[in-house]
Structure 1
């Protein structure tokens, strides 16, 4: 495990160095337009523990613009997860996105569906109060073709590669209750014929307070900044996002 951890650490350092160079390159470009937007994300996240190794995770996510108030995206997601050991975990699943609009001033009378596969590998290091985890995730995206008037036949396929570094700090804990702070940074890249102008997709910085109320329920309130390149390759979204999450944990193995 020490050898694997050393290799993974070296790969992570090289990846972060590459990301830093990319971000510097982006800053050097002339940005034609940056749209600033405010959004609220509300999420219900269910974790069903099937055994010591296996679990089933499902999620409902609703995203709404606030200026003006307008539906943005509705998300359904399900995935199976397998715990390899105390540090490594992997998962695979499917997601359905229903996109109303990405610009709140424009309100079409139709929604664009997207179907997405996802696979990830998460590496976790736990201390007394601090937990550090890294997630490498791959997504296969099938976005329904559309124009300003409505949906068109067929769909467009692309890959997306994501890397997230996250730290959790527990500053209060008592029996089945705890309060912790969360800080993370995630960078995403697109790949495919349709993404030549926006290979860099977005960077997300997230900070939150997480309250564990019991063995079954936890609540999280956080702020997320998403800086995303649009398909044009020269225009960007700069999004201020307030995120409220409810986590519901069920233990099927104990019932069995």
Structure 2
């Protein structure tokens, strides 16, 4: 897989979307906490699951709770793929508005991920497709049926290992991810959002790691003229379980 053409396209697309005329930008502060579990059955197959809770900080208000599971297959040294499903429970996207109900979303996902080790650096590209089923709702309650749309995500990420000793390590993470919506119900927000993320990742041992990061999410809403600009603190716990002694 060629790296540079995708990299150049990614920079162009990100700059283009960020450079569009922006109106009615709502600034928000959010805390994301995540537990990410990986069960490795052998060198090829693994099962990944996560639980993620997202909380507005100003004012304090629940935003989203999600659960996700996916099966992953390692094709070769550089490529792996995954298929999964996710459940989202959306309380509100605006903390000042707190409805008495939550909006469920069911999501399928498929991805192809490319990885290259370059000494202390690791470069990672992920191409992901999602099928989104969002329950219909108005401002007062849920309505019958759901709305379907597709979303394509491309993430470019690099890791740099500062220190590694036996089963412990300390590394920095930097990534940028761009997302596009498409489907018959998508009219004004083909560009969905861009996420820039930076973090410090500490591996306590070969099975447990912690990550503290900052994520900026710039998201276009369905109106096409309203945007969310979100400052997000993300705390993650990674837990690996190896079912084979050979791993």
CA distance in 2, matches of 1:113, 1:144: 6
- 2:185 — aligned with what? 194
SS where residue 32 of structure 1 aligns?
coil
In structure 1, distance between residues paired with 2:223 and 2:167: 49
Q: Deviations over 1:212-250 (max 9, x none)?
A: 001110000000000000010110000000000000000
Corresponding residue for residue 134 of structure 1: 125
Q: Which residue of 2 aligns with 1:238?
A: 229
- RMSD (Å) for aligned C-alpha atoms: 1.5
Residue in structure 1 matched with residue 13 of structure 2 by the alignment:
19
Ranges in structure 1 where 5+ consecutive residues have no aligned partner = none
Between Structure 1 and Structure 2, the one with more helix by share is: 1
Q: Distance in 2 between matches of 1:216 and 1:17?
A: 35
- Cα distance in 1 between the residues matched to 2:246 and 2:118: 30
Confirm or deny that 1:108 pairs with 2:99.
yes
1: distance between equivalents of 2:204 and 2:30?
26
Task: Report the secondary structure of 1:253's partner residue.
Answer: coil
Q: Which runs of 5+ in 2 are unaligned?
A: none
CA distance in 1, matches of 2:57, 2:15: 34
What is the alpha-carbon distance in structure 2 between the residues aligned to residue 244 and residue 21 of structure 1? 28
Counterpart position of 1:223: 214
Equivalent position SS for 1:195? coil
Match of 1:168 in 2: 159
The C-alpha deviation readout for 1:12-58, integer Å capped at 9, x for no partner, is 146325514632xx5242x3300000000000000000111000000
Give the TM-score normalised by structure 1: 0.93
Partner of 1:53: 44
Query: What is the aligned counterpart of 1:150 among 136, 141, 145?
Result: 141
